[in-house]
Amino acid sequence: MSSNTIKKLLLSLIVVGVLASFTARGTFAVFNSSTRNPASIATGSILMTNSVGGGSNCYSDLTAANNNVNTGCTQPFSTTTLYPILSSTAPTPPQTTVAYADITITSAGLPVSTNSTLPATLMLTMPNCDASNNATAGAYLGGGNPCCPGDAFGAGVLPASVGNCPTGSLDFFIQEYTSSAFTTPVSSCLFPVQSSTTCTFLDDTLGQFFGNYHDISHYFSLGSIAAGATRYFRIGVAEPIDDVGNYLQGETATFSLYWHMEQQ
């Protein structure tokens, strides 16, 4: 074998040996690295305080634990009898011919001064409006439905579908104010939507509200409310203007307002 051939073999062995050496080192070069991010997650809270006419607070979390629903708040209206009004301009309270309720909603609960921790959307619905004959009204009954004309007349009756009721219901509005003084309106009338800042009475608006916002799937949105914030609303109810038909004489409308806050 020539010397050149031997040198080529040795060079090949050296190359193989070097490669083998690198491979062997690679099997022992084991590296390990890890990081850890410990975390805990806490939920926030949405609570509500409801006060009528500056009276005692009604708290959403005053009932059974983990319920946060209170259906026993103050009755909003003290006027028991309405009379036909002569103008759509809402008279200044107090008034005996119309019904007013000043309702204060705060994003807070018990214990006192415990604010909600989350912003929410404030909503309102009318889950029931029950029409009945007023036994104390005398012999004459108009036979009209003050809640939702065209539907069945009686307690626990919901409109047949979501939408405006036919004409013939009471007048109804929702006005928001800047403070508990209830003197300065906020922006425009909330319901029914009007261009004027101050709400006016429009015929059939109670039927419109009840027909469109009477179940949990169809809320009237009052917009956002920040955690711990307070908003002030006036609800107005009246008989239709110049009710010469007397179709609501001797009739009674009994309805509830359901205030609801939901996380944004």
Mean pLDDT in residue range 157-175:
90
Mean pLDDT in residue range 223-251:
89
CA–CA dist 240, 254 (Å, integer): 17
CA–CA dist 203, 211 (Å, integer): 14
| Whether residue 12 has pLDDT greater than 60 | no
Mean pLDDT in residue range 214-228:
92
Question: Which of the pair, 110 or 224, is modelled with greater confidence?
Answer: 224
pTM of the model: 0.82
| Whether residue 117 has pLDDT greater than 60 | yes
- Give me the pLDDT at residue 6, please: 52
- Give me the pLDDT at residue 249, please: 86
Say if CB 50 and CB 71 are below 8 A apart: no
Backbone angles phi, psi at 51, to 5 degrees: -130, 135
Angle at 84 between CA 81 and CA 89, to 5 degrees: 110
Question: Which of the pair, 139 or 198, is modelled with greater confidence?
Answer: 198
What tens digit of pLDDT does each residue of 27-75 get?
445 566 776 788 777 778 899 999 999 999 999 988 777 688 898 899 9
Using CA atoms, how far residue 163 sits from 54, 123, 125, in Å, is 34, 18, 14
Out of 14-23, 53-62, 240-249, pick the least confident: 14-23
Using CA atoms, how far residue 136 sits from 71, 81, 142, 146, in Å, is 28, 11, 14, 17
Q: What is the pLDDT of the chain when averaged over all its residues?
A: 83
Query: What end-to-end distance do the CA atoms of the chain give, in Å?
Result: 90
132 DSSP β-pair partners: 252
Using CA atoms, how far residue 142 sits from 80, 133, 137, 146, 247, in Å, is 17, 9, 10, 10, 4
- Give me the pLDDT at residue 14, please: 46
188 token code pair: 């425009």
- Give me the pLDDT at residue 177, please: 96
Say if CB 95 and CB 234 are below 8 A apart: no
Amino acid at 16: V
CA–CA dist 212, 207 (Å, integer): 8
| Whether residue 26 has pLDDT greater than 50 | no
Cβ atoms within 10 Å of 95's Cβ, excluding its own: 15
Percent share of the chain, pLDDT over 90: 40
Closest to 60 (Cα-Cα) out of 261, 236, 221: 261
| Whether residue 114 has pLDDT greater than 90 | no
- Give me the pLDDT at residue 2, please: 58
Mean pLDDT in residue range 118-147:
85
Give residue 92's pLDDT band: very low, low, confident or very high (50, 70, 90). confident
